Amino acid sequence: MTVSAPDATAVLADLLADGEVVVLSGAGLSTESGIPDYRGPAARGRPATPMTYQTFVGSEAARRRYWARSHVGWRHVTGAAPNAGHRAVAALQRHGLLAGIITQNVDGLHQAAGARDVLELHGALDRVVCLGCGARTPRAALDARLRAANPGWTAAAGAVNPDGDVVLGDAQVAAFRTVDCADCGGVLKPDVVFFGENVARPLVERCFALTERAGTLLVLGTSLTVESGYRFVRRAARLAVPVAIVNQGPTRGDADALVRIDAPLGTTLTGLAARLTA
């Protein structure tokens, strides 16, 4: 059923009061921090052409384009602050009501709000991985190397995507110099799961295990269009684990939801946390 305010937080609070809640969050949770999503209301009219894994590994030109654009855009993501929705989720965890947090986001804002042991389904933008030796290094270290390799290079960001990608002109991209792994000279990639790339199976199994033991699966800010998140809703529904969804706009999992709330996440989750942690 779809529930509207002011009844929404009361219904959700009753459902979640027994604890063992597993949160599954998506980009819609971070829009109030200034990070746009791909498919929610803020994305309408803004084209999104995210990088695919196959394109990235198969083309030096594509890697140059990605790193030039991300060099500008990731600062927008890393400079974002947690919003009321992130803080509410962290508060629910501190009060022992959560069994786990699974996020499709790569922005690290759950952790910045104080959440612990977050399972990052799609990785994190603040890390870089070498496709040659597998070494993982901080994104800040790569940023320093790219700055050194591109003295005087400047570019203004246009629209920023959830993965930190922005639109730049061809001339700006052509003038950008990339760098390779400092250890082995291999290709560097952000430690995120690109479209067309698989989430590591052990991580998927951990998420399935959490879902199967959940008292409730609480879905926040995702349309569930991508299978990597939607499969947990399907598993929960198959096992009769209650599913609650808070999202602005319809989702692929609406038919499986016991409670479906279409409302801003910050105010909804703040009210929910206030009821449950008083």
Q: pLDDT tens, 169-219?
A: 889 999 999 999 999 999 999 999 998 899 999 999 999 999 999 999 999
**Domain boundaries of the chain, sorted by first residue:** 1-35+83-122+199-278, 47-79+127-192
Instruction: For residue 42, give both structure tokens.
Output: 């803020």
Q: Say which of 71, 86, 110, 122 is annotated catalytic.
A: 122
Over 90: is that where the pLDDT of 43 sits? no
Residue 11 is predicted with a pLDDT of 84
Q: Residue 86 pLDDT > 70, yes or no? A: yes
Q: Which two tokens stand for residue 86?
A: 């992130």
83 appears as a binding residue in the annotation: no
Residue 41 clears pLDDT 60, i.e. is over it: no
Averaged confidence pLDDT in the chain: 90
Q: What is the per-residue pLDDT for 44?
A: 46
The C-alpha atoms of residue 182 and residue 142 are separated, in whole angstroms, by 10
Beta partners for 15?
none
Using the structure block, give the residue that is written with the tokens 């971070």: 30
* pLDDT greater than 60 at residue 42: no
User: Does the annotation list 187 as a binding residue?
Assistant: no
pLDDT of residue 131: 97
Reported confidence tier of residue 61, pLDDT bands at 50, 70, 90: very high
pLDDT at 164 over 60: yes
Give 114's pLDDT tier (boundaries 50, 70, 90).
very high
Report the share of the chain in percent with pLDDT over 70.
90
> In this predicted structure, what is the pLDDT of residue 104?
96
- Taking residues 18-26, report their average pLDDT: 97
CATH class of the domain comprising 1-35+83-122+199-278: alpha beta
249 is in an annotated binding site: yes
CA 30 to each of CA 215, 251, 261: distance values in angstroms, whole numbers, following the listed order: 25, 17, 17
53 Cα distance to chain centroid: 17
**278 vs 267, higher pLDDT:** 267
Coil, strand or helix: which one is 102?
A: strand
CA-to-CA distance for 84 and 90, rounded, in angstroms? 10
Is 122 annotated as catalytic?
yes
Residue 150 annotated as lining a ligand binding site: no
For the record, the structure tokens of 145 come out as 């190397």
Tokens of 165: 């990608």
Q: In angstroms, rounded to a whole number, what is the distance separating the alpha carbons of residues 58 and 53?
A: 8
pLDDT computed for residue 184 by the predictor: 97
Alpha carbons 86 and 248: distance in angstroms, whole number: 16
The pLDDT value recorded for residue 229 is 95
